[in-house]
């Protein structure tokens, strides 16, 4: 079976982001970019399923600027067989990405789409759910364990009350949580091999998808700095401050 893995190019998680002077967004000039960590986990899981003989092909997909090719090459160095770049300079919001992925899923016919539960730049946690709705396919979000057998996916997912196990018929959509696996490092030989793997480039127009933004960002600003704490002499003073100053009781 085929597995489709969408991957997103984001500011590296080790970088402290800076807000632009005009408050229009985050400054990404000369900033290290990398694959979204949740998507890296999705690629690792897809490659493990292939190594276990469950899958025959892993296809990595990225939507965005030309530099997303680097993210796809990283996915192929981890073990994806080929990549597809939907190249556009437009700002892509979750619904637009879900529509692009829907078209690619209909074209490629994968039995499983596995992607990160959210991206660390916008933290939207929407694309997987929107894709499942557009395709009318079963979905399991926040997956911490995935097993494929007899045309079904058994997914253990993390919920507020503990763990929930779902059984779904394939094709299906799965979004990954942090505890699903530990992604491998791409070795130098595999990085070199990835350069020779096929990478197809298409545009949203080629797929017949309108990706015009439907939401407008009004302002981006850093959170306020925390004020220094205050020492209190006794419980009575603490209660008084909570009641009169903090006004939380």
Local confidence band at 61 (pLDDT 50, 70, 90 cut-offs): very high
Give the per-residue pLDDT at 18. 87
Domains contained in the chain, CATH given = 2-220 (3.40.50.620)
Local confidence band at 57 (pLDDT 50, 70, 90 cut-offs): very high
**Residue 47 contacts residue 80 (beta carbons within 8 Å):** yes
Residue % of the chain over a pLDDT of 90: 70
Of 119, 117, 118, 127, the C-alpha closest to 157 is 117
User: Lowest mean pLDDT: which of 1-10, 74-83, 174-183, 229-238?
Assistant: 229-238
Name the DSSP class of 178: G
pTM for the model: 0.85
- Which residues neighbour 144 within 8 Å (Cβ) at sequence distance 6 or greater? 156, 157, 158, 163, 177, 179, 180
**Is a pLDDT exceeding 90 seen at residue 37?**
yes
d(CA 48, CA 54): 9
Local confidence band at 96 (pLDDT 50, 70, 90 cut-offs): very high
Please, what is the average pLDDT of the chain?
A: 92
- Which residues neighbour 140 within 8 Å (Cβ) at sequence distance 6 or greater? 153, 155, 157, 166, 168, 172, 173, 174, 175
Kind plus residue range of the DSSP H or E element containing 46: helix 37-51
């Amino acid at each position: 079976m085929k597995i489709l893995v969408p991957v997103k190019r984001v500011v590296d998680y080790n970088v402290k982001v800076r807000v632009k002077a005009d408050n229009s967004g985050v400054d990404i000039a000369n900033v290290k970019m990398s694959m979204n960590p949740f998507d890296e986990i999705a690629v690792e899981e897809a490659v493990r399923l292939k190594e276990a003989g469950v899958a025959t092909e892993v296809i990595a997909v990225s939507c965005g600027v030309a530099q997303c090719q680097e993210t796809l090459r990283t996915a192929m160095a981890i073990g994806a067989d080929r990549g597809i770049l939907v190249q556009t300079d437009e700002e892509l919001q979750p619904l637009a990405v879900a529509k692009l992925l829907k078209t690619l899923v209909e074209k490629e016919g994968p039995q499983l789409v596995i992607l990160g539960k959210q991206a660390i730049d916008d933290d939207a946690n929407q694309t997987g759910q929107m894709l499942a709705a557009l395709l009318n396919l079963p979905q399991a979000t926040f997956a911490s364990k995935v097993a494929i057998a007899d045309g079904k996916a058994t997914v253990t997912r993390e919920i507020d009350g503990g763990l929930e196990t779902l059984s779904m018929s394939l094709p299906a959509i799965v979004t990954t949580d942090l505890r699903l696996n530990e992604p491998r490092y791409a070795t130098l030989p595999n990085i070199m091999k990835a350069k020779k793997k096929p990478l197809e480039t298409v545009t949203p127009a080629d797929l017949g998808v309108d990706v015009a933004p439907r939401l407008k960002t009004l302002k981006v600003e850093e959170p306020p700095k925390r004020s220094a704490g205050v020492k209190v002499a006794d419980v009575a003073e603490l209660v008084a401050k909570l009641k009169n100053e903090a006004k939380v009781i």
